[in-house]
Every structure is written in structure tokens, then in C-alpha cells.
Amino acid sequence: MSRYKCAYNCENSSDANIKCFKFPMYNPRKLKKWLSSMRWDGWTPTRFSVLCINHFEEKYINRAGKSVTLRDDAVPTIFSENTQKEKTSVTSKLQRTKPAADRTSKKHSSQWSSGATAKQSEEQSSGLQEPPRTAERWSVIVDEELLEIRSFPHFFHGDYCVPQNIHWAPDDDVTPEHKDAGHVIEVEEAWQWLGLDVRGPLAQTLNGHKYVLTVTDLYSRWVEAVPMSSCLPPEVARNVSAIVRHFGFPVRILSRLPRDVVHKINLELKEELQVSVPLLVHHQQTGSADPTTLHMIDRMVSAVTERHAADWDVYLPAQVFQLCFTEHPDTRRRPFSALCCSGLQPPRCPRRVQLTSAHISDSVFIIRPG
């Protein structure tokens, strides 16, 4: 399997014989120097991103030990010239050659925020607008900020390059091994941190459903999928409330829906569950904390809607059941076993944590192996 390259015009990351180094995610001050040297606009790495050894000067490389390592003060300095200019031209060229379905999807995204028609204005007052349905393509509904990344598209970086908010350490902090541990959250148990997505619009069923709400446990990889007739906050909140009542309260639920929509869903959840804490938190890492499960859900949704276009909502529960009772390729465990056989009792009241929503949004989530 090839690794995900993060330097422009570099083909070495696909060569297994080339030494690669991960980004110093736990040292914000050092990470800032790496990214400043790369001069990439609108992109930040994740723990899966790597740079090959050819981007480092020899003075930064330590070959004395059994394995090749980098010195503590190592900074990548060897990159293609005119990176931003070339990148912009390539991106523009790719946009001109994108399939019609991609252009249609982007057009739909812009229509959500335009409010051009009376119907859109009415839906804006309720929350998330429903884009025009297309039979050719569906997508995961995300914050429009994610669609404005000035970088290479999805197939170049893979799903691991979704941008995150990274807080740089103060310049006067001279500690070489400084780690901003306050902005790293470890997922250590089942039903602790969840991820929420909305997929659609899909082919409308006879029951009027054309969206799928998915709630995923980041630790156990358990998936809950619910068909919906709309993607507006009241319906999303009703289904999330039903899931919480059945499985118990998580610490928080992460979502990459637009911030204003997350706020409106939280207002609905406060009424549905009679809670005072905001259960849903806007977080852009929702799409990259557990990419394997998200890909499996995407394939499942695509398969069931293609085979049963008129009544995919009837077959969806069986597909989700199969997903949760099949060994997960990352954990090597069945999600059912990881969630239901852990011995933990689901909390029946909201969990209070010493973290604000803003702090959670700015944190990086790491899933600790069970």
C-alpha cells in the first residue's frame, strides 16, 4: 500500500524503500516550522501525513543508529520551486476537467447559502437547506468551509488531509520537547466520542426518504444509520435523541455540519432530551478520525441505493446489522463485541467534561487501540 504524500510534485512516498517521517503533531512549535517551510496555503497535516527523507538536508539526518532518524531541530527545506503558483494552475485545470456530477454537486453547495428562492429562504429560517436532488450523485453534507480548501483535491492527499485547527505554541516557548497535550483527546472507551454525518440527497423512496443520518462510535466502530425525509435540524435532532435514549449519553458527538446548523440541532436536542449542555460539537476531523469506517459506510449506502432504488430504506437496517457484526479491518474485532461486551453501563444522564465546545473543536482526536 502506498503512503500518502504531502509534498508537491514528490513521487517518492509511493516507494517503500524511501524513508518517510511523520509530521510532529505533538510539538506545535516544531510543526509550525515544518508547515512554514512547505508554504502550503489552506492545508494542515494529520497523524497519517508523511514527508520523505529527500525533503531534508543531510545535516538534519541521523544515520548513526539502527534506523535513520531526524535530529530534534530538523526542518524540511527541499521542495519544488513556485509551489503555490504551480499548485493553483493544476487545481484550476483539474476543476475545468471535473465530471459534470462534481460540478453539479459544487453548484448545489453554493445554492444552499444563496437563499435565492423563497423556498430556500424559508428553509434557512429552520436550519440546513435541502439541496436539489440528483440521481447521479450524493455526498456527505459538510461545512462549506471544507469545500474551499485551496489545495490539491481529495485523490491527491487522500482522506487524511482534511484541515484541522492547529494552535501554535508561543514563540517565546523555547522548550524543545514542548507538547500541547491539552489539545489532544484520546478516545479510550466505547460510546465516549461519536461522529455524526448526513448523506444525501439519495433516490427518494416510496416512504419519502432521501437522506441517511449516520452516528458512529469512534472506539467500537458501531454504526447507527437512520433514513430521513429531510436534512433539517428538527428531524436530525429527533433521530439523535432516539439513539441516545437507547444507547445512553456519549461525552459529545462530533459533526462537520455547518456551525449554525450544529447550533440549531443542539437547541432541538435540549428540548428533546431535556439537557442543558450542547451535545453536538462542530469538528472538521469528523471525516478523518476514522476514515476506514466512513469508507465502509459510503460503500454500503451506495450499494443499497443502487440495488434497491425505490425502497433502500427498508433494506438499510439489514446492511447496518451486517456492518456491525463483521470484523472491522482496523480493530480486528466486531463492533458489536467492542460496544456491547465491554461491561460498561451506558450513562443515562449527560456527561459533564471540563472542556468547552471551542476547546473540543480545536483538539485532535486519537483513538487508542482496545
pLDDT in tens, 294-340: 889 999 999 999 999 999 999 999 999 999 999 999 899 999 999 98
pLDDT of residue 304: 94
Which amino acid, 346? P
Which of these, 346, 358, 61, 52, lies nearest to 217 by C-alpha position?
Answer: 346
Three-state secondary structure call for residue 224: strand
Nearest to 156 by CA among 352, 38, 9: 9
Please give the pLDDT value at position 170: 42
Give the DSSP letter of residue 363.
P
**Angle of helix 312-324 versus helix 291-307 axis, rounded to 10:** 150
Is the separation of the CB atoms in 22 and 49 below 8 Å? yes
Give Cα separations from 369 to 187, 216, 331 (angstroms). Answer: 9, 16, 7
Q: 119-123, 125-129, 324-328: which range is least confident on average?
A: 119-123
Q: What is the pTM of this model?
A: 0.60
**What is the residue whose three cell numbers read 423512496?**
205
Quickly state the pLDDT bin for 38 (edges 50, 70, 90).
confident
Class of the CATH domain delimited by 183-367? alpha beta
Distance CA 261, CA 181 (A): 30
Other CB atoms closer than 10 Å to residue 53's CB: what's the count?
17
The amino acid present at 126, given as its one-letter code, is: S
**Mean per-residue pLDDT of the chain:** 74
Among candidate residues 39, 10, 155, the one with its CA nearest the CA of residue 91: 155
Q: How far is CA 32 from CA 28, 38, 67, 147, 194, in A?
A: 6, 10, 26, 24, 29
Determine the Cα–Cα distance for residues 317 and 297; give it in Å rounded to an integer. 12
The pLDDT of residue 370 is: 62
Cβ contacts of 179 within 8 Å, gap of 6 or more: 26, 27
pLDDT value for 37: 81
The residue type of 150 is R
Task: Give 154-205 pLDDT, tens digit per residue.
Answer: 322 323 333 334 334 444 443 333 344 447 888 889 999 999 999 999 999 9
- Check pLDDT > 50 for residue 278: yes
How far from 69 is each of 10, 26, 38, 271, CA to CA, in Å? 20, 17, 20, 54
Q: Which helix (H) or strand (E) is 51 found in, with range?
A: strand 50-52
